[in-house]
């Protein structure tokens, strides 16, 4: 039986944790020998000579890379698996008829953990304490238990569900928001996005967990931010384009909102001129909060091999991206 041609394209310029090197692949493939034995694998980095493998590949496993002209460089492609959840930069490179799958879900564990930690810190006024500490001010705040608080989660995918699950563990109320209303796993109360303006005033925390799509862009603008109670806190872990950061900083500078934890930004790295760096009660993490350092490659290959089994068995793949919708 002819082996299936798999090309693994890794970006040498990217952080080590994302690199599926030949050694990393070999280390994980031993857990899936029945599948791995049916694959003929080539590896590419950022060298044009690596395109030899790409030219004959039926399946491409990749992170970010220079995908310019992919359709001519890889004419035999039928399926592209990204190791990332956000594929907005990859979508335009995919030929019609080629299936694109993302790694949605592998960030769920850390997303649930980070969002819960951020909400707990916001609830205890820690962003205020950090600001006070900078000024050597002893400035107490007495806050209630988080069990009396409500999280509004924008999004209803696996990451959003992981946040909802952890919030419920501590007795919080959760309202999810999605394109269509209706219960999701760990998210019994999920409402349609048309209710957004009715729901925002109920939020003690607004957690943003949606991808960058035409529908989500600018969803939380100045008006929507104004609908949040003055004590509310913000956690932004999806895509930056969803929220008006300038309006956010304005409200923080006005002394409103308990704070904001942002992991994603319109421009990354954030330019030195940005107002975000010095905004009060705003805590930035440089787009890494959801990426499991020691486990990223393992989690990516777990998902890839599960999908490859489906592919080889002629089943429909998991995590197929609607390239029209963008996620």
Binding site for a second copy (CB under 8 A): 15, 17, 109-110, 113-114, 116-121, 123-126, 129-130, 132-134, 136, 138-147, 166, 169-170, 268-270, 272, 277, 283-289, 291-296
Nearer to a second copy, 244 or 291 (CB): 291
Nearer to a second copy, 9 or 166 (CB): 166
The least distance separating a second copy from the CB of residue 98, rounded to whole angstroms, comes to 30
The nearer residue to a second copy, 254 or 288, going by C-beta atoms, is: 288
Give the strands of the sheet with 59-62, arranged side by side: 39-44, 4-9, 59-62, 79-82, 99-101
Q: How far is the CB of 252 from a second copy (least distance, A)?
A: 14
Q: Which of 171, 183, 169, 238 is nearest to 208 (CA)?
A: 238
Distance CA 61, CA 306 (A): 13
What is the smallest separation between the CB atom of 142 and a second copy, expressed in angstroms?
Answer: 3
Q: What is the CA radius of gyration of the chain?
A: 21
Please give the C-alpha separations between residue 96 and each of 93, 101, 113, 172, 238, in angstroms, as whole numbers.
10, 14, 37, 44, 27
Least Å distance, CB 112 to a second copy, is 8
Smallest gap from Cβ 276 to a second copy, in A, equals 9
* Between 54 and 263, CB nearer to a second copy: 263
Nearest distance from residue 109's CB to a second copy, in Å? 5
Q: Which residues contact 110 (CB under 8 A, 6 or more apart)?
A: 289, 290, 291, 292
Q: Which is nearer to a second copy, 54 or 282 (CB)?
A: 282
C-alpha distance from residue 165 to each of 21, 114, 272 (Å): 34, 13, 37
Three-state DSSP state, 6:
strand
The CA distances from residue 327 to 9, 97, 279, in Å, are 21, 16, 31
Of residues 191 and 281, the one with the C-beta less far from a second copy: 281
Burial of 74 (0-12, 13-18, 19+ CB in 10 A): buried
């Amino acid at each position: 039986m002819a082996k299936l041609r798999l090309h693994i394209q890794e970006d040498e310029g990217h952080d080590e944790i994302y690199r599926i090197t030949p050694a990393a692949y070999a280390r994980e493939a031993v857990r899936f020998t029945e599948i791995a034995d049916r694959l003929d694998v080539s590896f590419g980095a950022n060298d044009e000579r690596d395109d030899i493998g790409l030219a004959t590949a039926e399946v491409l496993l990749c992170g970010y890379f220079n995908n310019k002209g992919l359709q001519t460089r890889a004419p035999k492609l039928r399926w592209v698996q990204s190791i990332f959840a956000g594929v907005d930069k990859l979508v335009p490179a995919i030929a019609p008829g080629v299936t694109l799958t993302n790694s949605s879900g592998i960030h769920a564990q850390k997303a649930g953990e980070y969002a819960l930690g951020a909400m707990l810190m916001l609830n205890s006024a820690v962003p205020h304490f950090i600001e006070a500490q900078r000024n050597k001010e002893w400035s107490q705040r007495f806050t209630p238990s988080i069990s009396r608080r409500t999280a509004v989660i924008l999004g209803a995918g696996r990451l959003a569900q992981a946040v909802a699950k952890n919030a419920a563990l501590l007795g919080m109320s959760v309202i999810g928001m999605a394109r269509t209303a209706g219960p999701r796993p760990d998210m019994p109360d999920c409402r349609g996005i048309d209710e957004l303006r009715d729901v925002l005033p109920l939020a003690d925390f607004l957690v943003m967990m949606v991808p960058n799509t035409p529908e989500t862009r600018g969803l939380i603008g100045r008006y929507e931010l104004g609908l949040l109670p003055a004590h509310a806190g913000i956690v932004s872990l999806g895509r930056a384009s969803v929220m008006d950061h300038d309006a956010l900083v304005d409200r923080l500078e006005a002394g409103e909102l308990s704070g904001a934890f942002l992991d994603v930004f319109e421009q990354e790295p954030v330019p030195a001129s940005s107002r975000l760096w010095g905004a009060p009660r705003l805590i930035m993490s440089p787009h890494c909060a959801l990426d499991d350092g020691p486990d990223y490659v393992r989690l990516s290959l777990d998902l890839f091999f599960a999908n490859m089994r489906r592919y080889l068995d002629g089943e429909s793949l998991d995590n197929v991206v609607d390239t029209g919708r963008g996620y």
